[in-house]
Amino acid sequence: MERELIANSQRLSAKKKKVALLGIYHETNTFIETPTTLDDFKNGYWLEGDAIRKEYEGAHHEISGVIEAIDACGDIELVPVLYVSATPGGIIDKLAYEFILDKMMDALDQAFPLDGCIVVPHGAGVAEGYSDMDGHWLTLLRAKLGSDAPITGTLDPHANVSQQMVASTDVLVAYATNPHIDQHQTGRKAAEMMIGILRGNIEPVQKLVQLPIAISIEQQYTSNEPCKSLLSYVAHVKEQNGLLSASLLLGFPYADVAEMGSAFIIVADKKVAFYPGALLGSTANHFTDYVVVRKEDFVGEKQNIGTVAEKLANNPKPVLLLDMGDNVGGGAPGNSTHLLEFFERGDSVKVFICVDDPQAVGELASRSIGDTFRLAFGEEGKKYETEVVLEQVNDGFFTEDTPKHGGFVNFHMGPTAIVRTMTGNTVMLTSKRTPPYSLRQMSAFGLDPKFFDAIVAKGVNAPIAAYASVCPSIVQVDTPGVTQADMTLFAYKNRRKPMFPFELIDL
């Protein structure tokens, strides 16, 4: 009897369709000179096989949503292959990308035969020699799987989407929120699309709509205008036309590539749409017209450091100061001290700031808690030097168990020190660049946000998900740096034209 049960179980298992899960995830800032290396990926997230499930099962990441949906369906087996991710940074080294690509394709060979593949690219990856990196590896994936095996996947809304990416896949869906707190739901959507295709319930056809506009980075907060109304309009049109999916791609302005700019991906179902091509075409026109007519709303007003004192005086505290020019989530080094120096020169206020400087952390090895000394830290060649008191040294580990931007669970800032300046400002010095995506970056080390008048977070919109609950006031500051808010100040060579706000456009 036991043998029969085992045999039956094996027969049922054999009938399951196999779907691979894989991704190369990177948001690349081409205006940064320092390349992203293989070590950056290995020190980020380098997950093979079941390690992917172990890291993300039960978390708030899109991979978590994929796992949950596929595990629940019963007739499909998920085969985790390879997922690698590095903190946003400069162009990916050519040999690093090719090594990862070879590793992925070799691992994929081991997983064959496959009935489909769920992919997790960012959508704004650029490697040396591969300006459309995501389009490149997705095209190779399509060639390996063949035309019959469906490919569905997720995108970060900061993707610069290419026609190659869309042509190589059946369905791509982007997170609908910025900060990105719906990644788990988006992963579920991608998995549910795969389930629907494999069961013969849907037959998707998708279209890329590249807009003649790039939405300014500080205007990309989806809970506020103008994106709030735009997303409501997109949801209305999707529902009205019975579309399978309609995704807004905000775009990533810090990449000098042909695909840079805002876009939509819209998906119809051939099984229910009489003329899917015409439907997608008319929807594309509606979306384009909506954005172009309101193009001025997507430019935004830039507030420089000089406005900070007034904002701090007139707003409830603590004030969240978003250091847009040193946005770690956009690839910046996370080591500028512009805002700190502003407060050090002014009236006495209590400010928290996190600065990445492994050299400064290393110099504290011989110091004891309570020691007072002079310390230089910050940008190489522009370090800020002042007298500080060493208050804490720790390993830089902390965890986040609620949905926050990025869907991360485990954070590692490397050896970390906390010092206080003589003017009363608190500086967290890290040895591993870490975006401010979790309030636990402070609270895990005994720092109470309510103690401070201002909290400096090196980001644009992403930190809002972490700090809005304790910061009644939020101010985006257009600081200098490689992620400054005014994209028209960057020297692009490859972007498409005409594009607003660089050039004037009309319907």
Q: Are 296 and 450 in contact (CB under 8 A)?
A: no
State the pLDDT at residue 402.
Answer: 86
Opening angle at CA 407, ends 35 and 253, nearest 5: 45
Which tens digit of pLDDT belongs to each residue from 245-283? Answer: 999 999 999 999 999 999 999 999 999 988 899 999 999
CA 352 to chain centre: 24
Residues 177, 183: Cα–Cα separation, whole Å: 9
User: Residue ranges of the alpha helices (H) in 331-371?
Assistant: 338-345, 358-363
Report which of 142, 123, 247 is spatially closest to residue 189, judged by C-alpha positions: 247
Flag whether pLDDT at 64 surpasses 60: yes
State the pLDDT at residue 435.
Answer: 93
Q: Are 65 and 186 in contact (CB under 8 A)?
A: yes
Residue labelled with tokens 């093979």:
48
Which tens digit of pLDDT belongs to each residue from 229-239? Answer: 999 999 999 99
User: Residue ranges of the alpha helices (H) in 117-269?
Assistant: 133-145, 163-167, 183-198, 227-241
Flag whether pLDDT at 4 surpasses 90: no
State the pLDDT at residue 444.
Answer: 95
End-to-end Cα separation, the chain, in angstroms: 73
Three-state DSSP at 366 gives helix
Please list the residues that pair with 264 across neighbouring strands.
Answer: 209, 248
Three-state DSSP at 70 gives helix
Opening angle at CA 19, ends 14 and 22, nearest 5: 145
Which tens digit of pLDDT belongs to each residue from 65-83? Answer: 999 999 999 999 999 999 9
Query: How large is the average pLDDT for residues 432-441?
Result: 94
Flag whether pLDDT at 2 surpasses 50: no
Q: Tell me, what amino acid is at 46?
A: W
Flag whether pLDDT at 6 surpasses 50: no
Q: Is the alpha carbon torsion for 304, 258, 97, 138 positive or negative?
A: positive
Query: How large is the average pLDDT for residues 396-400?
Result: 93
Phi, psi of 476 (to 5 degrees): -90, 125
Both tokens of 252, joined, read 């990533």
Average pLDDT, the chain: 94
Neighbours of 270 (CB within 10 A): 13
State the pLDDT at residue 10.
Answer: 44
Please list the residues that pair with 429 across neighbouring strands.
Answer: 355, 417
Flag whether pLDDT at 7 surpasses 70: no
pTM for this entry = 0.92
**Hey, what's the torsion of the CAs at 162, 166, 171, 174, to 10 degrees?**
0
Residue labelled with tokens 């910046």:
332
State the pLDDT at residue 14.
Answer: 55
Both tokens of 37, joined, read 């290396």
More confident residue, 301 or 40: 40
